[in-house]
Structure 1
């Protein structure tokens, strides 16, 4: 039932609340995996219904573990209050359904956007099958759905709508897709700028540099691989939530990598290089068996014109294109 106690704002779970970088996290599964590994319970908050205008849509989530939080709902309108309820849920295990904004009984919390947000807060214990299944499917890059009434939780595989719920008796289903991933090949300043920017933007970023240095790059990436590009792609696997950008500037690696990415139905495939090389590269790919449909999906001059040609400018334009291309895959049922 709807939690009807007057809310008491409590940001003690929002470590670093003065500078809410916890809101940069869009996927709660990495934080949940850390909680499970540490054998710690978590409070999972899911925005399941939105009325009117709101910063986030249904399916947005926050996760509270100890004194830390991941994710955001409203840009500082309700996060502190949700944190207070999360503390209660962690303590007693009783799920809570929270209603903020239009029609809410809590007149002391209003949303600047004028809409209404409905949030379920539930406790997730580290040893439960649902928690371990969700993490395992994320690691295997498998689509799955979290089903819960606030107490009973399970995870099933397969495609589904992003979010659905029923009011009485209450239950919700929230789909999880594989994380957005960017595979960048090469080691010049442009490739490194793109890899670093993608990593900071929350992508699972893989840098492939055939025969590159044994030491990893001086910024965090999910993986650094030194083998030939085709071998690396075979090892990694490809899907529609993966973007591939070839930037070794060597056809031996870039052409084969692009062909493999196109045939693997990667959500975005690009190859960086001079426009004067485009015709020859297309001809080489066609001779290698690329179809016209595959070649239509290939971007040979990736990025946004007019941003400039410095490494960070090029990287910004390419990453914007990647985001545009991969977002439909997140919304697809």
Structure 2
């Protein structure tokens, strides 16, 4: 079992199986009542060898879902299964309470899956519709929207830059890296989804096409001379989160520098600093976790 989380992981895996002419069952959580480990609309799949990509619970029912998916692949029939309260599977409990209704489809819409994979590759949102089997008696039909994977673009150097790249990657963000330090890029450049950019001068203007509404941009410098042109360029983009390392005094000076460069107060209001939910931290890994927590909260609030 591969505990992939993002819808794009499942969709890209499905598209790869379609290209290889390998059958699989697509699994979707159609309804949730009460507590649940995953959101409604979460996806998983099981291939003909029984391997599962994705998960619908925190391990309490995923093995059973996996077995039902294998049987569904054999019979070629959809299954709609309810777990938890009101389920006929009384021996399978949901510790978080409530109930979960899962659709298992051994013949998913391959055109829709391939089209969704192409949209994700273009950083476009995706909508997918799922229908319960005709003989289920439930008449469930649900459409869910899925955003592209969140992107984390980091410009900086030193221990915090490295920690942020490592923790962001481990959290599942699509990481992109810029640094004037060759040693830093050598240490964490393999985590970058695009070729790492070696910064040679603080006075260069950048066109940040990589930054979109599903992105966060951080400057992680102690030598803040590298920041102004990078931030001015980032502030022209629809990026969801822009934040900077440093003290409150440093942030005030940063904003004043950007004002002198022609950046409006409306744009500066988008700039967050100092980054992080926990103030006055002194070790790189804790600062990275604190900053990433603020980014997670920002994206979560935007999606509510």
> TM over 0.5, yes or no?
yes
Q: What is the CA distance between 1:192 and its match in structure 2?
A: 0.9
Corresponding residue for residue 28 of structure 2: 46
Q: Residues 266-277 of structure 1 correspond to what in structure 2 (within 5 A)?
A: 266-277=239-250
**What TM-score does the superposition give when structure 2 sets the normalisation length?**
0.85
Number of residue equivalences: 293
Corresponding residue for residue 228 of structure 2: 255
* Cα separation, 2, equivalents of 1:191 and 1:328: 25
Corresponding residue for residue 110 of structure 1: 93
* Cα separation, 2, equivalents of 1:89 and 1:28: 22
Query: Which stretches in structure 2 are left out of the alignment for 5+ residues?
Result: none
1:145 alignment partner, SS class: strand
Q: What is the CA distance between 1:257 and its match in structure 2?
A: 2.2
* Cα separation, 1, equivalents of 2:69 and 2:205: 46
1:36 alignment partner, SS class: helix
**What TM-score does the superposition give when structure 1 sets the normalisation length?**
0.78
* Cα separation, 2, equivalents of 1:193 and 1:232: 26
2:262 alignment partner, SS class: coil
Corresponding residue for residue 68 of structure 1: 51
Q: What is the CA distance between 1:138 and its match in structure 2?
A: 0.6
* Cα separation, 2, equivalents of 1:307 and 1:313: 10
* Cα separation, 2, equivalents of 1:32 and 1:223: 21
Q: Tell me if 1:202 matches 2:175.
A: no
Give per-residue Cα distances to partners, 1:5-62, cap 9 Å, x unaligned.
xxxxxxxxx3xxxxxxx33x22142244245335133322111111122222312222
Name the stretch that deviates more: 213-222 or 109-118.
213-222
Query: Which stretches in structure 1 are left out of the alignment for 5+ residues?
Result: 1-13, 15-21, 152-166
- Which of 15, 22, 37 is the equivalent residue of 1:36? 15
- Which of 150, 171, 184 is the equivalent residue of 1:180? 150
Q: Tell me if 1:231 matches 2:210.
A: no
* Cα separation, 2, equivalents of 1:316 and 1:309: 12
* Cα separation, 2, equivalents of 1:216 and 1:242: 23
- Which of 191, 195, 203 is the equivalent residue of 1:220? 191
Distance 1:227 1:148, change over 3 A: same
The Cα RMSD (Å) is 2.7
Q: What is the CA distance between 1:218 and its match in structure 2?
A: 6.1
